[in-house]
Chain A
Amino acid sequence: MEFEGNGLLTLVVFLPLAGALGIALFIKRDKQVRYIAGAVALAELILSVMVFTTYDLSKGGLQLVDRTSQWIPIESFKVEYYLGVDGLSTPLVLLTGLLGFAAVYASWSIKTRVREYFVWLLVLQTAVMGVFTSLDFILFFLMWELEMIPMFFLISIWGSGRREYSAMKFLIFTFLGSAFMLVGILALFYSTGTFDMILLPDAIAQTELIAPAGIIFGLIFTAFAVKLPVWPVHTWLPDAHTDAPTAVSIMLAGVLLKMGGYGMIRVSAGMFPEVIVDAAIVLAALGVVNVIYGAIITIRQTDLKRLVAYSSISHMGYVLIGISSVAGVGGLVSPTGLTGAAMQMFTHGTITGLMFLVVGLTYEKVHTRSIPELGGLSARMPVIAVAFLIAGLASLGLPGTSGFVSEILIFLGAFPVYGWFTGVAVFGVVLTAGYILWMAQRTMFGPTIDRFSNVRDASRMEMVPIAVLIGSIILVGIYPSFVSDMFRDGVAGIVADIQRSGALAMVLP
């Protein structure tokens, strides 16, 4: 079997799975399970940093390819094992490494069924890494589906509240979306004869599809829309978030939602340049609905986790608005909006990851998430309060934090294209400021409550993931270009394709 590549990405994708299998088969004691999972997560973080630093931006394009065509080499169903990263996926691999690390360390206090818990958490990380690095559509789809089962168990066993209902709702929504995507993928394959996601954009442009491109686009887009999530298929998200354990919320908000955004940019925009230009106005409108509707609902929430969950819906609306800027002005497409959308995914991942981490820690210490019952916590747990505030300020887009960079890029990119929509969406920032500051004021500040007098601050172990996430938020805020240059390079090819197909449309009568 001939194998191409140095195996780094294969290691990144399958190390957590190997760790999970090792734990499942050989490790019995809870303490050992934690340390092994922690070691795997740390190794995974180091590996993802290695991927990020190894990626040579000056060369651009596809790098670190691991490939063998011997997996299913059957002509009429030719599936390859094909991993690789480009500018779009490299930062997302880093993000997954970061949040996977944070998630494992945020789970240190899990007490029930410890072994199973870490097994599923690590399997989840393999699936997400696989989604971001797979370049064969069936492999991509396999990883996409693989992610559901760990999530289902993680929410339904270790969750709280109506966890079984939420887990099933998550599963049905995701499965419904991916079912449609499967039809779309198969239609593409039997039109073009390839599952290769790098060859597909050209292949689609040159062949006559067996179904109208708009329909195939719609089928595949449904899966991404459910995942992002886009209004009106967002309803699974608040339930899943509220009932999931802390670490799973971190993974869900931090990276799982990004699978939707990544798919939209890589597949919806990258493979269907003509359709996305026509659909851009719909995306912009949906994006605005997401932003405003999400923000208004967020304001009313009294449960901390539900609040952060709805704020995620609002923030993912910006991703849609950023993508909608591909419609261009006067036949000219600027990469700014698309870069902003990708940046928003990265920054929202770290910010909301931190937010859920802090909310989870708060819940663990004070045993309630209900905002009216909280107050004055900053006196008792200063570190958590500071982290909470940093996450909040980054979330509302304070300059100097990473949230500002991504939002400003999106607005800069989208404003020339859809001025009114963008204008309304900018108002979402005001709403964000409202609910974030109001929430911080009600929970962390104000008079201290006697009930919480013996509440402890974060332990050293809990500070590790907090420090890592705060570090990345500030770093990207001050020096954004080390991520944004990579994203810009990653979307450049897509923008060029859209430009070309747009020019083509103008020449034709």
Chain B
Amino acid sequence: MTMHDIYLLSPELSLAGLATLVLLVDLIVKRKSYLFVLTIVGLAVPLGFTLALLGSLDGASMMENEGVLRDTLVVDKFGLFFKLLLISAVAIVSLLSIDYVKRFEQFQSEFLVLLMYSATGMMLMASTKELITIYIALELSALPVAALAAFMRDGRSAESGLKFLILSGISSALLLYGMVLVFGLTGSTQLDDIAERIATLAIYTDQPFGSYALLMGVVLMVAGFGFKITAFPFQMWAPDVYEGAPTPVTAFLSVASKAAGFAVILRVFYSAFGIEELSIEWSAIFAVLAALSMTIGNLVAIAQRSMKRLLAYSTIAHAGYIMVGLAAVSTRAGSGDSSLGISAVLFYLSGYAAMNLAVFSAVIAISNRINSDAISDFAGMARRAPYLSAVLAFGIVSLTGIPPTVGFIAKVYVFGAAVDAGLEWLVIIGVLNSVIAAYYYLRVIKLMYLSEPPSTDSIESGIPLRLAMLVTSAGVLLFGLYPTGLLNFVKSAAQALLSTS
């Protein structure tokens, strides 16, 4: 490991270092809120390293992408895009937690530290090129989350943590089994080598994926990753875990964990199984899963009474929309722009991060004060907390996909990619789903703006939450009105992925 390797890994290393630093400083300081300041300011270091790497990728000093540690890790624009997204998500979630963690008597710093360790794992997930490293990064990201989910130490939260731990274990087992099959068939754990071997394998045209072994391997890997992105039918854990976990952790799970899951899926499927014959087959799997996730998520969301459960089902539905972009594989792009599907996924993930975090900030700000997650307790909220309600309503409008928000552009873009790939049927299911979603999303808005409030006490929120809401809703509006900058960035990230593979 040379100095240069350390530089290439600096975002992950500095984030893990920051986490350890926070843990140590916790032993000295009395006022725990300093730790949050340290975290949020300290996040500038990994952010700075990521931007520096991005800058040197654009310059001539480095190749388009560079392998680290015998090519198990890779630094390219695709990975760096996710690192930026994840660091931003951690920063926002830390802001959300400042008020929230006051209810914990102790372990306030550990909350932050676990969050950052998990994010380190997720950042590694976005840049791995080797199956075993993927597995390790995945575990690194999942185990802290299990502890975080159980953080409240009441019945609900403990159930949430345990459920996450067990189901995450099962999904890891499935994933490993899938990896073993792929390794057995190709004799390598390197994604590039796997792609090469698969190309030389005798393809039995009468068997899906050329051979049943590969089919089993791919399906098991989809199952393992599907857990991460809450795709149907691997979504059962999400509502219970989301409901029981501390709300900032729920926000982190629904945004960061999902983004990292999609990063791995894109990397594995485009690098290892990117050839045309295979990509058509796995795109069909994702298309079906997308249709089911959207439909089941939206239909079940209608009946929810708890805000957190509603958001859990909505996150399942949004996983479905994002998978529409996954199904729009590059080899089927009719317009000749092969990066369209990938960049649609990346754009949706960034937009989803902004809008979902905006919604969660407002929900946390409100439910901190009223001590309830029940949707009915949000009645008349517009009169008790006009600004919080406006942010929540704006985020929900964006989740529905109505302009002038990033949700609208993201929806149009992802459906556009699918139409381009010849998946009109999937797009029709998608747009019908957005109508179903409009019903339950707008019911929340209706409740906040039309119903009589049970009490007229106004609801105040602290500066950190206000800051989080300002940043996220500015993102929702800005990327909704002028998405070009972000679109260009995701496009170059998508092209980086295609050129790596």
A residues apposed to B, CB below 8 Å? 70-77, 138, 141-142, 145-146, 148-149, 152-153, 156-157, 164, 167-168, 171-172, 175-176, 179-180, 182-183, 186-187, 189-190, 193, 210-211
Contacts and interface: CB of A to CB of B under 8 A. Distances in A.
B403 A145 contact: yes
A180 B416 contact: no
Contacts of B419: 183, 186-187, 189-190, 210
B292 interface: no
B383 to A, nearest CB: 10
Contacts of B428: 180, 183
A175 B435 contact: yes
Contacts of A182: 411-412, 415, 431
8 pairs of A and B residues whose beta carbons are closest in the complex: A179-B431, A76-B337, A186-B419, A190-B420, A142-B403, A186-B416, A176-B435, A175-B435
Interface in B376-428: 397, 402-404, 408, 411-413, 415-416, 419-420, 422, 424, 427-428
**Max chain B C-beta neighbours (<10 A), residue from A138, A142, A180, A211:** A142
Interface in B294-319: none
A189 B340 CA distance: 14
A164 B337 CA distance: 45
Contact of A76 (B340, B435, B438, B449): B340
B257 interface: no
B431 A148 contact: no
Contact of A72 (B335, B424, B442, B484): B484
Contacts of B483: 72
Nearest to A141: B412
A196 B416 CA distance: 16
A74 B413 CA distance: 11
12 contacts: A70-B484, A71-B484, A142-B403, A148-B402, A149-B397, A176-B432, A176-B435, A180-B428, A180-B431, A186-B412, A187-B419, A189-B419
Contact of B424 (A75, A76, A189, A211): A211
A187 B424 contact: yes
Given A70-B484, A164-B446, 12 more contacts: A74-B484, A74-B487, A138-B412, A142-B404, A164-B450, A172-B435, A182-B431, A183-B427, A186-B412, A186-B415, A187-B424, A190-B335
A182 B435 CA distance: 12
B431 A168 contact: no
A225 to B, nearest CB: 16
Contact of A171 (B403, B424, B438, B491): B438
Contacts of A183: 415, 419, 424, 427-428, 431
Nearest to B418: A186
B446 A179 contact: no
Contacts of A138: 412
A182 B484 CA distance: 20
Nearest to B338: A76
A296 to B, nearest CB: 31
B191 to A, nearest CB: 26
Contacts of B491: 74
B431 A77 contact: no
A179 B434 contact: yes
B334 A210 contact: yes
Given A73-B484, A142-B408, A146-B403, A175 B434 contact: yes
**Max chain A C-beta neighbours (<10 A), residue from B335, B403, B491:** B403
A96 to B, nearest CB: 19
Interface string B323-335: 0000000000011
B104 interface: no
Contacts of B446: 156, 164, 167-168
A401 B487 CA distance: 53
B416 A189 contact: yes
A149 B400 CA distance: 11
B458 interface: no
Contacts of B424: 183, 187, 210-211
B34 interface: no
Contacts of A152: 442
B438 A175 contact: yes
B415 A193 contact: no
Contacts of B415: 182-183, 186
B390 to A, nearest CB: 10
B107 interface: no
Contact of B337 (A75, A175, A186, A187): A75
Contacts of A77: 340, 413, 416, 487
Nearest to B488: A74
B439 interface: yes
Contacts of B439: 168, 172
B422 A153 contact: no
A190 B450 contact: no
B425 to A, nearest CB: 10
Contacts of B449: 153, 156-157
A148 B445 CA distance: 14
A183 B324 CA distance: 14
B303 to A, nearest CB: 16
A186 B416 CA distance: 6
B7 interface: no
B212 interface: no
A46 to B, nearest CB: 26
B355 to A, nearest CB: 15
Nearest to A139: B403
Interface in B309-368: 334-335, 337, 340
A156 B382 CA distance: 14
B488 A145 contact: no
Contacts of A75: 337
Contacts of A211: 424
Contacts of B416: 77, 186, 189-190
B449 to A, nearest CB: 7
Contacts of B434: 175, 179
